[in-house]
């Protein structure tokens, strides 16, 4: 499991904690955006080492073939798996059922000091604000990168954006190609390996330079980006200019 720690860094406190996971959104987000599955075990081990976990609740409509077998996997972590199947009704109930369980836990167990939500949905902004402002609870948010509502992020004590391991590679690759695509429109610009790594790291501080360099080396080896030797007219110095072989779709 890979984590992108954003401006409001992870501040998991070692107090009694209840965790609520919109597994349906996490699963389909990984599947559709990254062609991957959630690394639930890796994530759970991470939070278990950080805090005093009272219980972890997973919520999803498990009636569909793509996700139904995941109930067995989740039982290796928790018995609190809430099937939000809607039968023949068109309305989605997962968010509402998850909200109901959060409020129930708040009112039935006042000794829970910290609530952790795995969701990026703005529907949870109100309950997060209620937990923090009127009940003095700490609230942390985990969300798949690209799915976190700014309103929800602002309402929480802290938040962390999460991507699957292969998703991180693709995200850095996208950032590199976006930068090179823009640079290629400027004839006077000469994007070199080190300069490109430096610029992308500055524009995307969630990525380390060594990771950017590794991805850039990979896409060069695959022929997606080429290095062409050119001579700088003003100095006579020979450098290797990066050129995108196939321009990314806009």
Report which of 197, 229, 201 is spatially closest to residue 216, judged by C-alpha positions: 197
Only one residue has tokens 């959104």, namely 25
Taking 3-state DSSP, the helix, strand and coil percentages for the chain, each rounded to the nearest 5, stand at 45, 20, 35
Q: How many CB atoms lie within 10 A of CB 122?
A: 14
Residue 194: count of CB within 10 angstroms of its CB: 11
* 149-166 CB burial, b ≥16 within 10 A, e <16: beebbebbbbbbbbbbee
Give the pLDDT of residue 63. 92
More confident position, 51 or 78: 78
Bridge partners for 226 per DSSP:
243
- pLDDT of 207 reads 84
Helix, coil or strand: residue 37: coil
Q: What confidence category does residue 185 fall into, taking pLDDT thresholds of 50, 70 and 90?
A: confident
142-173: per-residue pLDDT in tens? 999 889 999 999 999 999 989 887 777 888 89
> To which CATH superfamily is domain 2-163 assigned?
5'-nuclease (3.40.50.1010)
Per-residue pLDDT band for 197 (boundaries 50, 70, 90) equals very high
Q: Is the pTM of this model over 0.75?
A: no
What pLDDT does 246 receive?
A: 64
Question: What mean pLDDT value characterizes the chain?
Answer: 90
What residues does each domain of the chain span? Answer: 2-163, 166-244
pLDDT tens for each residue of 3-50? 666 667 889 999 999 999 999 999 999 888 777 889 999 899 989 988
CATH topology of domain 166-244: Arc Repressor Mutant, subunit A (1.10.10)
DSSP readout, 96-134? Answer: HHHHHHHHHHHHH-TT--EEEEE---GGGHHHHHHHHHT
Give the separation between CA 14 and CA 31, rounded to whole angstroms: 32
């Amino acid at each position: 499991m890979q984590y992108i720690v954003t401006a409001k860094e992870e501040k998991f406190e070692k107090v009694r904690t209840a965790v609520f996971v919109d597994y349906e959104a996490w699963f389909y987000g990984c599947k559709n955006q990254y062609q991957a599955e959630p690394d639930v075990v890796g994530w759970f081990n991470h939070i278990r080492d950080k805090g005093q976990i009272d219980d972890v609740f997973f919520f999803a409509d498990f009636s569909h073939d793509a996700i139904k077998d995941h109930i067995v996997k989740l039982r290796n972590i928790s018995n609190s798996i809430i099937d939000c199947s809607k039968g023949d009704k068109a309305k989605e109930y997962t968010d509402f059922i998850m909200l109901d369980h959060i409020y129930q836990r708040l009112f039935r167990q006042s000794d829970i000091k910290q609530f952790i939500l795995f969701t990026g949905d703005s529907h949870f902004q109100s309950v997060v604000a209620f937990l923090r402002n009127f009940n003095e609870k700490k609230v942390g948010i985990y969300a798949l990168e690209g799915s976190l509502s700014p309103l929800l992020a602002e309402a929480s004590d802290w938040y962390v954006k999460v991507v699957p391991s292969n998703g991180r590679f693709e995200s850095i690759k996208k950032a590199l190609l976006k930068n090179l695509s823009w640079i290629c429109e400027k004839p006077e610009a000469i994007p070199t390996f080190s300069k490109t790594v430096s610029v992308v790291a500055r524009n995307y501080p969630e990525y380390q330079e060594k990771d950017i360099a590794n991805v850039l080396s990979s896409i060069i080896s695959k022929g997606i980006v080429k290095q062409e030797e050119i001579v700088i007219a003003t100095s006579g110095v020979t450098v290797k200019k990066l050129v995108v072989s196939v321009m990314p779709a806009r």
